[in-house]
Each structure stands twice: as structure tokens, then as C-alpha cells.
Structure 1
Amino acid sequence: MLDIKKKTLKGYTFIDLFAGIGGFRLALESFGAQCVYSNEWDKYAQETYNLNFNEIPDGDITQVDEKNIPNHDILCAGFPCQAFSISGKQKGFKDSRGTLFFDVARIIKEKKPMVVFLENVKNFATHDGGNTLRVVKETMQELGYSFDYEVLNPTHYGMPQKRERIYMVCFREDIIRETFTFPKPFQLDRYVEDFLLPNNKVTDYIIERDDLMLNDKAETTENFNSTIRVGMVGKGGQGERIYSPKGIAITLSAYGGGVFSKTGGYLIDGKTRKLHPRECARLMGFPDTYKLNPNKNQAYKQLGNSVVIDVLQLITEQIGEALNCQYSGIKQLAII
């Protein structure tokens, strides 16, 4: 998580929909914005959210009356991606989880926030030949908003994890603003090895197997801006592959099997192990002060479903610049 000095969104309010464990909240609060409402249906994610923000989010959004949601300036929503994910059946809006976007739309229609900030899986951009994205874009335009989107990879923004996601930023058309641009990429200078706990603190995660096989990359001492596969166990299927901490991390997953499930295996100081939940949290941009769910399996699932906070912060910074609020520290006036 980036250390933000300028509170360029001070005086702005936001709501946190499909909040998960609060990645959007951490990003926007780091710029001084205030959360006035949160919504998350998963009870275990609610527990973690409450641990960190002393607030239990509302439940099922389909049962929430949009009129009862507080007025706000920015709407954030990492709406469920399962309906659009490559690993799912890709039914999109035919899947009930896909239609949850329209619950976001009805809130936007009622509350008319200044900015809408959305996130989803990379495949959202190309699902159904681009029709899914087109529907979202046309819906936002019908509601009176601009629509900008970009697929960003955290490895281009300082975080060594292969986790491409689509980000959508929409401004209400009557808002005085500068041109919005997504953040420019920069050179990666941190790798998995920079996010690790000492092996003596993660002994329970070390895995010793007779069928462990390493290749000639296991001794690499050079850093690479890619994953470095150094071995495997079993047949080398998903959850059975081993990587070097000299490279970037594979995409952390909420699901999946194998001995190294959800994180992949890493060869660290001569030992093979999966990543500790705290290491996963670091690779997602969560500070060490953030309290993880005490249930290890839930912690992995929640982090695998979360967002890379550093990327959200960089986009939030660009939203602030578009609103020109960094010069005045106050909200821009809307043209009524």
C-alpha cells in the first residue's frame, strides 16, 4: 500500500459496494475520502471488514432500497466476477451474479454520484465478443456518465503479482473536471522475495515430498519481471507447480486444489512451501496492520477475491487530478 501524503479527496464521500474485505475503502481513505456506506453479503468477509473498520456491511444488495443509501460523491464496486471469469462458465448477464451490475445501476440512477469506480476480471473486457462491456458502457452513458476503462497489470505498477483486471471509471457528465487518464506504468523493482516472512515463522507451510522435482532455474540469482517456474510435485498440475521468489507471483486465487493451492509453491531458502496469508496480503497491498480473518482458509479466499490496493490508489490519484481537487482540497461544483 502506497504512503499517500496529500489528502486530495478530503471532503469527498464514497460507498463501498461488494466491499469484500475493504480494498477500495483502504485506497480511497488513504486520500482522505470518507466511507458512508458499505455492502457485502458474505458473512466471513463481513467479519474481516468489521475487524478492520468497526463496521458490519449491509447484506444482500438486491434487497436494499436505493433510496435508503446515503448520498455520496464516489461509488465503488468490485461487483462479482464469477459470471465473467475465464475459469467460470462465462454466462455473463444470464448468470444471476452478472445481473448484480444492474443493482449498481439502480443505485447510480437514484443517487447520481460524481464518480463511479468499478473493477472486474480481465475477461470482462472480451466476454461475449465484447457485448458484456458494451452493455455496461451503454448503461452508464444512458445514466449520464462518461466511460473509460483499461486492463491493468500490477506488475506495471510496482506490485509483483500477475493479476490483470479491468478498471472502469465514469464521471457524471455535468461535473467540471480535467481529462481523466489511467496511471502510466513504471519499472518493477520489487519481487516476491521482498514480501516474504522468514522461514522460521512459517514452518507449518513448508512441504516436503518425495516426488519433488526441481529444474536448472532453481539456482537463479537474477530477478525477472515474470514468473520463474523451478519445479513441481505430482504431475505439475495447478497447485503443484513451484516458482522462484526472484520473479513475480502467480495470480492469487480464492479457489483451486493441489498441495500449493491458492498461492502456488515457492522455493525459499532451500525449502518449498506455499505462501502464508500475510505474504499474500502484502502482495495485494494490504499493510501489516490490517487484521486478516483468523480462519486461514477464509483468509486465503478473501485475499484471492480482493483487489491490489496500490493499483486502486494510483487510479484514485488520477480521479482526484481529473476533479482538480488537489489544488483546492474541496469539491468541484457541479453544473446543475
Structure 2
Amino acid sequence: MIFRKGELFCGPGGLSLGAKLAEVTSPSGEVYKIEHQWANDIDKWACETYRHNLCPDKPESVIEEDVRELDIESLDPIDGFSFGFPCNDFSVVGEHKGFNGEYGPLYTFGVKVLRVHQPKWFVAENVGGLESANGGEAFLKILDDLENEGYVLTPHLYKFHEYGVPQKRHRIIIVGIRNDMGLEFKVPKPTHDGIEKPFMSVREAFMEIPEDSSNNEKTRHTSKVKEMLKYIRPGENAWSEEIPEHLRLNVKGARLSQIYKRLHPDLPSYTVTGSGGGGTHMYHYEETRALTNRERARLQTFPDDYEFIGPKEQVRKQIGMAVPTQGAKVIFEAILKTFAGIEYESVDSKWKIALRELKTSRDNKIELPQK
């Protein structure tokens, strides 16, 4: 069985590559997999990257357009749908505007796709800060709107380093299956616990990167920055007491922990981001430099043959905004197993319980589980 998938806010294709790589065989021998049908994003370079890697023979299927101008009704029929709606207004970094910001309401276009095309399943992704936006009301409103389109929801906070991603990246993923399918998605059990199955480390992620890999150019730093980095130990940042006074940053007020922070080789990295200027580009644990974009892509579990298109800073932005391919693959495989009737190990979603309570008691404020 092949599920034709559409996607809004597709970015460079982290979710879609994970979907493409997911494949299962049912007990009867039928193969279940996902194929690209169409995708949309407003970012020129992200669309170019997506076309180049995922559908070079069908470039017109990637629509570079503001979603607010997109003719959703005219899009080709789909069986599955994904959308990592913009997280700017829900992120814990920033002004926390939630629904009051420019990006907060954009999830409604995903709701419209569900209403118009009625796919059998969908995957929605956003930052962990979504749960606290607008005092928690934003998350409940989004869940309510998605459920009202006729879907059984399973929301969960995924900690991707628990699924083989060499990065501590926490994201809310909402999986919905259409009511008439008679199926219910279960959260796949983590594959790594840090003890019996150690988390993937930065050192492992960076092993054997070919010198001629695409997007692997190194950043040129000033002699002062390179000298300062010599005094910063792996896992520490620009506020280390070991940095001589003449090399320290002259910063007043809040001191962000990720400024000139060097990765620790034996641990997963901290979260890869697509925003920020110098000092926030993530720094190598051994060499006195920022990471190359290929190293950042390794932390996001993109394969080395996945070439990002665009200027260096635009590539950095694409990689930082993407969903880790390995994490996406685990979720899409679980969806395919659900439809194929294949049992798999799972864990409970506390938010799913809260959603059920909300459904039976609309007038009562439901407290969402803490991280």
C-alpha cells in the first residue's frame, strides 16, 4: 500500500525524507510505504533543496508560495499529510507571542487541508514551547481544532536523542488517524535510554565525514575568537572563568548559555537552531571553529548525499529548522505499522489522557502534563 503524502511548511525536507525512508511489510507480505505528492513552503532555498533531493523529476510539485495565498482546494488528492507549522511564536526562545504573533495562527491552514482532503492520517510538528503558549490555551485549541476535523489524536513530546538522534532536541508531534479507519496510533518506545543503550554522541555523529562532502566549508574566524575558543572546554561556553580577561566578551545583562558553546564529544549535542548570529553557530569540541553545515546536518541525521542548496547562511537556517530525519522515520514507521497491523513496543502519551479529559469536560480547565 502506498500513501501519497502532501506537506505544508516543508522546509528542506527532514520530515519527508524520514517518510520516504520508512517502509514496513505486513504479516501478509504487503509492503507499506509513503510517496511524495506535493509540498509547500515560502522559503526559496528550502524549496530548491527539497526539489533537488526528494523530487528532482517532479519539481513542479513543490510550490514556493505563502501558505495564505495557496489554493488548497486545487491540490492533488493525498492519503497522508504532514506539517511542521512555524514555531517562531511558540518557541521558548523569543517573545512567546503564541496566537498573538504573526506565525501562531498558521496552523489553521493545516486544519484546512484536513477539512478539504481528508487524508487517512497526518503528522503535525512544533516546538516544546507550544504547550505553554498563551497559558496552555494555544495547545488545547490546536488539539481541539484537529480533533474536530474527524481524527483520533496522539500528541507526545518526543525527545529525539532517545531515538538515536545525536542531539537533545525536544519537539511536540501530534499524530492523527481519521476516525473511520478504526485505528489508534501509539507512541513508539524509545530505542536509547542512555544506560543499556547509550545515546548517540557528537563524536560518533562526526565520524568519517568525507572532506569533499557538500556544505562542508569551514567558517573563517578572527584570531581573537580562535584564541578564546582555546580556553573553552568541551561542554562549556563564553562565560568560562578560564578565559583571560582580555579575551572575554563585553556583554551586559542576560548571558545566553549557547554563546560560543563547544560541544561535548561524548554526549548528544544541544539543539541545532536556524537563527542567531556569530557565537551561536555551535562549536567543535576539538578544533577552534564553528561547525560546518555538514556537521550540523549530521546532528540532524541527514545523510551526506543530501545536498542543501543556497548561500551558506541560508543552508544553516534550513538545517536548523528541519526535523531530524531519523526521528521522523521512527514516527512514520510506527504509522505504517499501525495500518499494516504490525504490533510494536509503545509508551503512553500523558497528553492523550489530558485530551480525553478535555473532551468529556469542556468547561473545566485541563492542566497539561509537565515535561
TM-score by length of 2: 0.75
Amino acid corresponding to residue 210 of structure 1 in structure 2: E
Deviations 1:39-81 (A, max 9, x none): 0111111121222122252112211222101111111000100
Deviation at 1:304, TM superposition (A): 0.5
Please say if 1:321 is aligned against 2:337. yes
Please say if 1:267 is aligned against 2:274. no
CA distance in 2, matches of 1:316, 1:199: 27
Deviation at 1:199, TM superposition (A): 9.6
Instruction: Check the 8 A contact 1:214/1:230 in 2, yes or no.
Output: no
Please say if 1:307 is aligned against 2:315. no
CA distance in 1, matches of 2:88, 2:310: 25
Deviations 1:237-296 (A, max 9, x none): 54322232222212111111234x33x21222xx22211111111111111111122421
CA distance in 2, matches of 1:150, 1:137: 12
Secondary structure at 1:85's aligned position in 2? Answer: coil
CA distance in 2, matches of 1:289, 1:121: 27
Query: In structure 2, do the counterparts of structure 1 residues 210 and 272 end up closer, same or farther at CA, with 3 Å as the change threshold?
Result: closer
RMSD (CA atoms): 2.4
CA distance in 1, matches of 2:80, 2:133: 26
Please say if 1:169 is aligned against 2:189. no
Q: Which residue of 1 aligns with 2:84?
A: 78
> Percent identity between the aligned chains?
27
Q: Which residue of 1 aligns with 2:263?
A: 243
Q: Which residue of 2 aligns with 1:193?
A: 203
Secondary structure at 2:288's aligned position in 1? Answer: strand
The residue correspondences of 1:152-167 to structure 2 (distance < 5 A) are 152-167=158-173
Q: 1:229 aligns with which of 216, 233, 236?
A: 236
Q: Which residue of 2 aligns with 1:210?
A: 227
Q: Which residue of 1 aligns with 2:14?
A: 23
The count of residues paired between Structure 1 and Structure 2 equals 303
Instruction: Check the 8 A contact 2:19/2:332 in 1, yes or no.
Output: yes
Instruction: Check the 8 A contact 1:74/1:113 in 2, yes or no.
Output: yes
Instruction: Check the 8 A contact 1:120/1:167 in 2, yes or no.
Output: yes
CA distance in 1, matches of 2:71, 2:209: 50
Query: In structure 2, do the counterparts of structure 1 residues 317 and 85 end up closer, same or farther at CA, with 3 Å as the change threshold?
Result: same
Please say if 1:38 is aligned against 2:39. yes
Please say if 1:283 is aligned against 2:299. yes
CA distance in 1, matches of 2:116, 2:74: 10
Gaps of 5+ in 2: 24-32, 193-197, 250-254, 344-371
Deviations 1:138-162 (A, max 9, x none): 1112111112111111111111211
Query: In structure 2, do the counterparts of structure 1 residues 321 and 198 end up closer, same or farther at CA, with 3 Å as the change threshold?
Result: closer
Query: In structure 2, do the counterparts of structure 1 residues 82 and 203 end up closer, same or farther at CA, with 3 Å as the change threshold?
Result: closer
Amino acid corresponding to residue 187 of structure 2 in structure 1: F
TM-score by length of 1: 0.83
Gaps of 5+ in 1: 1-9, 219-227, 328-336
Q: 2:121 aligns with which of 102, 110, 115?
A: 115
CA distance in 2, matches of 1:111, 1:79: 18
Secondary structure at 1:243's aligned position in 2? Answer: coil
